[in-house]
A = this chain, B = another copy of it.
Amino acid sequence: MSATIHRLGQKPEPSLEPMLQLVAHDLNLVNAVILDRMQSNIPLIPELAGHLIAGGGKRMRPMLTLASSQLLGYSGTRHHRLAAAVEFIHTATLLHDDVVDSSDLRRGKRTANIIWGNPASVLVGDFLFSRSFELMVEDGSLKVLKILSNASAVIAEGEVNQLTAVRRLDISEERYLDIIGAKTAALFAAACRIAAVVAERSEGEEAALDAYGRNLGIAFQLVDDAIDYVSDASTMGKDAGDDFREGKMTLPVILAYARGDAAARGFWKEAISGRRVADADFAEAIALVRASRAVDDTLARARHYGQRAIDALAGFAPGAAKDAMVEAVEFAVARAY
Contacts and interface: CB of A to CB of B under 8 A. Distances in A.
A20 to B, nearest CB: 30
Main secondary structure of the interface of A (DSSP, over half): helix
Interface string A129-144: 1110110110010100
Question: Among A131, A145, A149, which residue has the most Cβ atoms of chain B within 10 A?
Answer: A149
Contact of A153 (B130, B153, B155, B157): B130
Contact of A137 (B100, B145, B155): B145
A123 B163 contact: yes
B130 A156 contact: yes
Contacts of A142: 137, 140, 142
B160 A123 contact: yes
Interface in A96-142: 96, 99-101, 118-120, 122-124, 126-127, 129-131, 133-134, 136-137, 140, 142
Interface in A51-69: none
Contacts of A157: 40-42, 45, 127
Contacts of A2: none
A324 B13 CA distance: 71
A161 to B, nearest CB: 5
Contacts of A120: 160, 163
Nearest to A41: B157
Interface residues of A, number: 43
A28 interface: no
A53 to B, nearest CB: 16
A24 interface: no
Contact of A152 (B101, B122, B133, B153): B133
A164 interface: yes
A44 interface: yes
Nearest to A92: B126
A275 interface: no
Interface in A78-95: 92-93
Interface in A144-178: 145-146, 149-150, 152-153, 155-157, 159-161, 163-164
A158 B161 CA distance: 30
Nearest to A102: B119
Given A40-B157, A130-B152, A119 B99 contact: yes
Given A137-B149, A149-B137, A150-B134, A160 B96 contact: no
A124 to B, nearest CB: 6
Nearest to A43: B164
Interface of A: 40-45, 92-93, 96, 99-101, 118-120, 122-124, 126-127, 129-131, 133-134, 136-137, 140, 142, 145-146, 149-150, 152-153, 155-157, 159-161, 163-164
